[in-house]
Amino acid sequence: MVLSNPALHLGPYILTFWFDVMSLGMIIYLGVAWHLERGRKNERGLIKCIVYAVVLLSCFASLLFTRWMLDLFAYGFGRLYVDFFSVKYVNWFPVFGNIAICITQIFYTERAYRLNGNRIIIPIILGILILACMGGSISLRIVTYSVKGFFKPSPQMARAGKFSLYTAMLSAVLIDIILLALITIGLLRARTGWTHTNHLIKRLIRMSFETQLPGTLFTLASVIQFTFFGLSPYNVVFCIIQPKISTLSFLILLHGRDHLQQGLSATPNDYQPRPAIYDQEGDARAVVPNLEHTSQHPLPSDMEDAEKAGSQEEKNISPAGRVNIHVIATIE
């Protein structure tokens, strides 16, 4: 069966392995660079735990995939083609992959929560979906534990496995869509008359789409593929690549956030339009807010630091600086 159509049965494994190795190298590079530049001292504990967890899970998943590829193309190639249809390895990847994806979603959930007025309903709903995604992945592993073949399980086990798989995939799609919508709405509501702040918000929205949309589309593609084509070698592509895309997007977002923070603290704001008033001589002059402190005082890293700074320090920050503190806190 494998040799009857090598392109179908061998191609996905080889191409996916190439992508997995390349993406793992980028993940390790971005993770180490983040640790050296910011992670050791300036980052919050929650984000540190998320970064270290997803990088370690990516490394472990790649090692497991490498072991599987050695069994397929080195130790058993030409005599053990049954390994191409076995769930000995493949049913582990949804577990590690979806756990890594759900861990990164905790970061996005916090952003959505802070951007939308700290509404408690947001983490409750997203938390339920995250648990459903993780539970579906773990359930799939338990259900398929005793399956000997990948394409011919018992009817009862096939129904249970399909339910678990759909639960995990649909929960992941809903999480991605809800988070992207909430973050975008929250950023749009934060727009003000400050041109630099509005420009910053546009950059944040663009960054959110650039980092979250690829994972969302890929997850949706996996649901469509499984719905219309069922179990096939192409399922391996989605199981391996999807968590790598989510991890890469998350690390890229962290690096982009740091660049935004550096540019924000060095660039003053302009307010447009500037209302005009008349002095006693009748000459019109523009009312321009005092921006001299915007670039001279470092911005706090998050809202907790802003509160600790004290009222005296807050007096030295211009209105533009206060707006930007609120905006930049949402990407901490």
Phi-psi region of 194 (alpha: psi -120 to 50; beta: other; left: phi over 0): beta
203-213 residue pLDDT tens? 888 888 888 88
Q: Are residues 171 and 296 in the same domain?
A: no
- Same structural domain for residues 281 and 260? no
pTM: predicted TM-score of the whole model, two decimal places:
0.75
Separation in Å, CA 119 to CA 110, 126, 177, 190, 325: 11, 12, 18, 16, 20
Q: Are residues 287 and 184 in the same domain?
A: no
Mean pLDDT of 293-321: 42
Highest mean pLDDT among 28-37, 86-95, 138-147, 203-212 belongs to 28-37
Last residue of a domain, one of 266, 284, 299: 266
Please give the average per-residue pLDDT across 186-206, as a whole number: 82
Q: CB burial class (10 A; 0-12, 13-18, 19+) of residue 156?
A: exposed
pLDDT tens sequence across 18-77: 999 999 999 999 999 988 887 667 778 888 999 999 999 999 999 999 988 888 888 766
* Domain span at 225: 6-266
Q: Which residues touch 195 (CB under 8 Å, ≥6 apart)?
A: 269, 270, 271, 272
Residue 271 falls inside a structural domain? no
Query: At 182, which CATH number?
Result: 1.20.1070
CA–CA separation, 77 and 150 (whole Å): 18
* CB of 23 closer than 8 Å to CB of 244: yes
CA distance 23 to 28: 9
Task: Report the domain count for the chain.
Answer: 2
